[in-house]
Amino acid sequence: MKHLFLAIFLTLNAFFAWSQQKQPKLVVGIVVDQMRYDYLTRFWDKFSENGFKKLVNNGFNCEQTHFNYMPTYTAPGHASIYTGTTPANHGIIANTWYDKTNKIKTYCTSDENVQSVGTTTDMGKMSPNKLLVTTIADELKLANKQSKVIGISIKDRGAILPAGHQADAAYWFAGEDEGKWISSTHYMKQLPKWLNELNQKNTANTYLQQPWETLLSIHDYTESIADNNPYEEVFEGEKAPVFPHNLPELRKANKNYDLIKSTPFGNTILKELAFEVIKNEQLGKDNSTDLLAVSFSSPDYIGHQFGPYSVEIQDTYLRLDKEIAELLTFLEKQVGENEFMVFLTADHGVVDIPQHAIDNQLPGGYFEEKATLQVLNEVLFEKFNVENLVENLSNYQLFFNHDLIKEHQLNLIEIENVAVNFMLAQQGIVKAVSSTNLKAAEFTDKIMGNVQRGFHQVRSGDVLFVLAPGWINKWTKKGTTHGSPYNYDTHVPLLWYGTNIKQGVRTEEVDIADIAATLSALLNIALPSVCDGKVIEELVK
């Protein structure tokens, strides 16, 4: 009995000490759009001491952090990080998906019930209205109304989804002819004075008046393939995808500001916005924990165009390393050393350019969606004598026309089975499953489990399929993409640094949903409403 009382006493004492621990004045969540984990190790020797290396050497590194669903896209990635669950629950099943009820495509953050702020275009008609659950940011606001929550990104979805429903603000970049930061009436009626002043400086234009040259000598990029190669997409107005990229000249073909998104300077203007947000909104200046969600989008644009083994992507990360270093130094001065907490992760990885893989005797290939849809509808017509039974193929899903199925009194399961067998017979497809089976069984296989966790019963399609490793949807044999359940798309960094974070490494696997669960424990607040992640114990002991 004495031992029992002693155990209870020690447990309660430990819990009391943990619950009374110092809280960060500011949490900065950094998401790097399209950052594979191996970028940390592959570029390590070229990084400075105060950026990524500082986070690793003085913080906590979860080396085996994975997304546990598909498709691995930007919107589901950001939503999963901050809600602590998967698309099966939070409902953000892709960036854009087929709305089978209204038979239209819908964008993850579009909202016709709000108006643009800071722009006359519709680029500000955005909100988190399609996100079905709460985020860690929402729970922070519920726990303390004095806490401020702000999300920023080049992409609207990268700013909006992390900030959640109750955010004080979310800002994203309007390119085209404007080149400024905007928002929506979901958050405010007008932009704050300080942001209008920043927009007037038009720093995007300043950076586009200089060429994009390599940070180091071109000969030092030994971790990358040759700069001049046949696998990369060129900028419009450029003859070859090689350095230096003459941005002033390229703007003659791309007269709007969207060009900056596909350069490292997109990261630079976002870092500068972060500085202004922290200063002008006085983040981290009182005893209520604030949260700033920062999503660096430019690596995604660059990665799609040039691929993971390009000089461009290596140069982007060497420059991002310096941006991270400057952000950490700024936080130390503005908020105070050990007064802030940072976590850094990514929303997905990326596959090698398939043609580059093929030329190096590695698995890869190109899947033709349009041709597949056409032939499948022909097969279904022969079987059921009804045309166009599949009305949409997107995001590795088939959507049937249920009106036709009902009208002709067809058997849905029979149609599903024919479609599944057809898809499995197509080159480049290795798995296919019907929505009926996804609803009826729980899959323990890793890949099929990832498919199931990406399946939302209301929003997803009737048949889901998986391409073979190294395969992507065909549109061109230059450039690449992401979205699969494989390691190159799911394995991302997860680094923790700052208040109450001790130096360490975890080699056991961590799910991306564990971030929100762990942050909830560290901040002593409620879990997001459907969070099914687990607390990373090493960080809260």
Residues 396 and 76 sit within 8 Å (Cβ to Cβ)? no
In this structure, the strands spanning 26-32 and 290-296 are parallel
User: Helices in 363-486 by DSSP H: which ranges?
Assistant: 369-384, 402-407, 412-424, 435-440, 446-453
End-to-end alpha carbon distance in the chain: 26
Residue 433, strand partner residues: 464
Beta bridge mates, 434: 463
Residue 350 three-state SS: coil
* AA letter at 513: A
357 by DSSP, 3-state: which? Answer: helix
DSSP H helices in 218-345: 247-250, 265-280, 298-306, 311-334
Which is nearest to 485 in space by CA: 447, 453, 458? 447
Q: What is the largest CA-CA distance in the chain?
A: 82
Catalytic residue among 65, 74, 83, 268: 74
Report the alpha-carbon distance of residue 489 to residue 397 in Å, rounded.
18
> Crossing angle of helices 74-83/136-143, nearest 10°?
40
d(CA 497, CA 342): 5
Alpha helices in 91-221 (DSSP H): 136-143, 156-163, 193-201, 203-207
Whole-angstrom distance, CA of residue 278 vs CA of residue 285: 9
State the Cα–Cα distance between residues 449 and 452, nearest whole angstrom.
5
DSSP annotation of 233 reads P
Q: Are 153 and 81 in contact (CB under 8 A)?
A: no
CA nearest 167: which of 178, 156, 151? 151
* Active-site annotation holds for 74: yes
455 is written with which tokens? 């399946």
Amino acid symbol at 267: N
Residue 185's SS3 state is coil
Tokens for 337, please give them: 């050393």
**What is the CA 387 to chain-centroid distance, rounded?**
38
Catalytic positions: 74
